[in-house]
Amino acid sequence: MQINTATTPVSLDGSSTSAAQWLSVIAVAVSAFAFVTAEFLPVGLLPQIAHDLGVSTGVAGLMITTPGVMAAIFAPTLIVSAGQMDRRYVFLLLTAVLLIANVVCAIAPGLAVMLVGRALLGAALGGFWTLATAAAPRLVQAKDAAKATATILTGVTFATVIGVPLGTFIASFASWRMAFAATAGLVSLALLAQVFLVPSLPSASALRVADFRALLARPHTRLSMVMVALVFGAHFSTYTYIAPLLEHDFSLSAITLLLFGFGLIGFFSNALTSMVVSDHLKKSVAAMILLLLGAMSSMLLLEHSPIGETAGMLLWGVAFGALPLCFSVWIQRGTTDLPEAGSAMFVSVIQVAIAVGSAVGGTIVDRAGVHADFTLGLGLALLGLAALQRLAVSERTTRVSSLECACDASPD
C-alpha cells in the first residue's frame, strides 16, 4: 500500500522528539492562538461593535457567521487546490492573509467592510486548521503525535484564556478597533515564528475529491461528523451571545474576568484530558458533552445569580476546553488512511456549525430573546449525545460481528 508522506510522522522508531521539532509544534500552536483570538474577538465586543456600526446585536453576529461559512468552503477546496505544494509555504500564505484581515477589520467604516475582513479571516482559517491538525504528527516522532496535537490545540485554549479577554480589556479603555489592531500585531508574531521555526513539509501526493467521497461513504464517519456538528452548533449558537446575557448582571470588566476564567479553566481541562483521552476516548467525549449540557442549563436556571452564572461559565470552560481535543482524536482515529481529507471535513463541519449556529442564534436572540436561544443550544447538545450513543452501539455491534465471523472461519 502506498503511504502518503504528506501526513506520515517524522519517524516510526522510538527515538525522542528533538527540541527543534517541539519548537516547530509551538510555532504552529502560537499561530493557532492568533487564529482563534482573531476568530472570536467579536464575542466579547459584540454590543460595542453593533452600537458603533449601527446594527442590531443579531446582525452583528454575522461577524462570527461569515468566517464560519468561508472556512467551511475553503477547508476542503484550499487543500485540494494546494496539490503537492510544500505545506510550510501554505501556512505562511494563510497567516499573511489573516494579518490583512485584521487590519481591514480595525479600519472598517461600516458593516460591509467589516464582513469583507471577516471573510478573509474565514478563508485563511479553514485552510490553516486543515493543515494544522493533519501536519501535527509530521512535526514530531511517531510516539509524540497525540501530544503534538494536544499542544497545538492548547493554542485554542490560550486564545480563550488570554486572547479574547485581552481584546475585551483593550476595548474597555481604548476601543474595539484597537483590539483588532493589537490582534494584527499578534498575527505578525505568529508569522515570524512560522518563518524561523516551521520546517519544510513537502507533500508527496495531492488530495483528491475522490478521497472525500470515500470518507463520506463510511457510516461511522458520517455519524461522527453529525455528532461534531450538533455539539459545536450547541456551543456557538449560545456562546456567541453570552455577552448580551451577562451584561444585565456584570460590568464589562467583570465579563472580561469571566471570559478569562472560562479560558483558564479550559486550559487545565485540555491539559488533563490529553493525559486520558487516548485510553478513554468515548468516556471523555460523553463526559464533556454532559458538562456542556449542565453549564447551559445552569445559565438558564440560575439567571441573574452572579454566583450561579459564574459557576456555569466555569463549568462551560471545562467542557469546551476539552471538546476540540476529544473530537480531533476521534476523527483522527476514524480517518487514519486519509488524514488530510478527514481533517478538512472535520474543519468544514465545525465551521458550518459555527456559521449556522451563530446565524440561527442571532435570529432567535433578536426575535425571541436569549432564553429561546439557550433552549435551542440544549436541544442540539442532547442530539449530539444521542449521536455518540448511536456510534457506541454501532461499534459494539461491528465488534461482535467481527468476532462471530472469526469464530465461523476458524477450523475446528
> Cell for 399?
465488534
Q: Which of 69, 124, 67 minimizes the C-alpha distance to 92?
A: 124
Q: How many domains does the chain have?
A: 1
Query: Does some domain include residue 7?
Result: no
Q: What distance in Å separates the CA atoms of residue 262 and residue 321, rounded to the nearest whole number? A: 9
pLDDT tens track for 68-77 = 788 888 878 8
| 61-to-65, 161, 390 alpha-carbon distances in Å | 6, 21, 33
Query: Does some domain include residue 366?
Result: yes
Q: What is the pTM of this model?
A: 0.73
pLDDT tens track for 263-293 = 888 888 888 888 888 888 999 999 999 999 9
Binned at pLDDT 50, 70 and 90, residue 3 comes out as very low
Q: Which of 186, 191, 196 minimizes the C-alpha distance to 91?
A: 191
Query: Does some domain include residue 4?
Result: no
Query: Does some domain include residue 409?
Result: no
8 A C-beta contact, residue 67 and residue 97: no
| 394-to-317, 337, 388, 403 alpha-carbon distances in Å | 30, 20, 10, 14
Query: Does some domain include residue 12?
Result: no
Residue span of the structural domain in which 115 resides: 19-199+208-403
pLDDT tens track for 371-383 = 899 999 999 999 9
Query: Does some domain include residue 81?
Result: yes
CATH code of the domain in which 229 resides: 1.20.1250.20
8 A C-beta contact, residue 355 and residue 69: yes
> Cell for 373?
436561544
pLDDT tens track for 392-402 = 888 777 666 55
Query: Does some domain include residue 314?
Result: yes
Write a three-state SS string for 233-262.
HHHHHHHCCHHHHHCCCCCHHHHHHHHHHH
Side chain identity at 365, as an amino acid letter?
Answer: V
> Cell for 320?
469546551
